[in-house]
Amino acid sequence: MMRRPCMILVCVAVALNLAFPAFAAQGDDPDWPCIQRKVPQLSLGQIWNGVELQPATSEWMKDAIVSALVVELSARRVLLTEAQQKIRTYAHGLPESERDRHMTMLVRGLFDHMDRERSEVISGIARYAHRQRDMAARLRQEASAVDTLRARPDADPDELALQNDRLVFETRVFQERAQSLSFVCEVPTLIEQRLYALTKTISQLLQAR
């Protein structure tokens, strides 16, 4: 009976540590939970080395076709190869005199839209991580309470079983949430990679003229 309570705490502690290894902070933010380094915002120079974007490109939202294309190309459910083909089709359908202006507007639109989406994901990761931290602290407290209850000679077996089962269930939920966090941590990088690939396609089209 005395070995079992210790095992409850040990198992929960191991589960929490294995489920949340990402809590080793990366970069300048001690609360950042991901292995990937936290970069809150991208710079245009990181993803675009083509022609200089004129100030007028910031008005891309006023162009209905460009705006719709930005949303469509940004969606990760659209295969990257399909999105790149849509860019080529759009470019080839533009009058020669309008191609540079519209394609650079598309670059600016993709950057603005996807950088904002990426920043929102990063903020969401931080909120999720804080909830996980709170849940981890609560689970440790509950594990200690179960351990204490089990050590009492007059402990109610039914109450002990109830608390133990709840602790096991909540630990499993915690582990599943931690696995989800590991996946979500990859999303900012995926967005950045997609943005770079899309703008590179545009750059190649402009250079091929």
17 pLDDT exceeds 90? no
Average the pLDDT over 181-188 and give the result. Answer: 90
> pTM to 2 decimals?
0.77
Q: Give the model's pLDDT for residue 129.
A: 87
Give tens-digit pLDDT for 106-146. 999 999 999 999 999 999 998 888 888 888 999 999 999 99
What length is written for the chain? 209
What percent of the chain is predicted at pLDDT more than 90?
56
Q: Cβ(197)–Cβ(84) under 8 Å?
A: yes
Asked, for residue 96, whether it belongs to a domain, the answer is: yes
209 pLDDT exceeds 90? no
Position 2 confidence tier, pLDDT thresholds 50, 70, 90: very low
Asked, for residue 171, whether it belongs to a domain, the answer is: no
Average the pLDDT over 67-83 and give the result. Answer: 97
86 pLDDT exceeds 70? yes
152 pLDDT exceeds 60? yes
Least confident window among 20-24, 137-141, 179-183:
20-24
Q: Cβ(92)–Cβ(180) under 8 Å?
A: no
Better-predicted residue by pLDDT, 11 or 35? 35
Q: How far apart are CA 126 and CA 149, in angstroms?
A: 35
Which range of residues forms the domain containing residue 58?
Answer: 25-140+178-207
194 pLDDT exceeds 70? yes
Asked, for residue 133, whether it belongs to a domain, the answer is: yes
Average the pLDDT over 146-171 and give the result. Answer: 89
Q: What is the DSSP string of 108-150?
A: HHHHHHHHHHHHHHHHHHHHHHHHHHHHHHHHHHHHHHHHHHH
Asked, for residue 187, whether it belongs to a domain, the answer is: yes
Q: Give the model's pLDDT for residue 19.
A: 47
Asked, for residue 158, whether it belongs to a domain, the answer is: no
Q: Give the model's pLDDT for residue 79.
A: 97
Highest mean pLDDT among 49-58, 166-175, 197-206: 197-206
Asked, for residue 123, whether it belongs to a domain, the answer is: yes
Q: How many CA atoms lie within 13 A of 93 on its CB side?
A: 8
Asked, for residue 150, whether it belongs to a domain, the answer is: no
Tokens of 186: 């990859």
Tokens of 117: 């989406």
Asked, for residue 154, whether it belongs to a domain, the answer is: no
Q: How many independent structural domains does the chain possess?
A: 1
Q: How far apart are CA 129 and CA 163, in angstroms?
A: 25
Q: Whole-number mean pLDDT of the chain?
A: 86
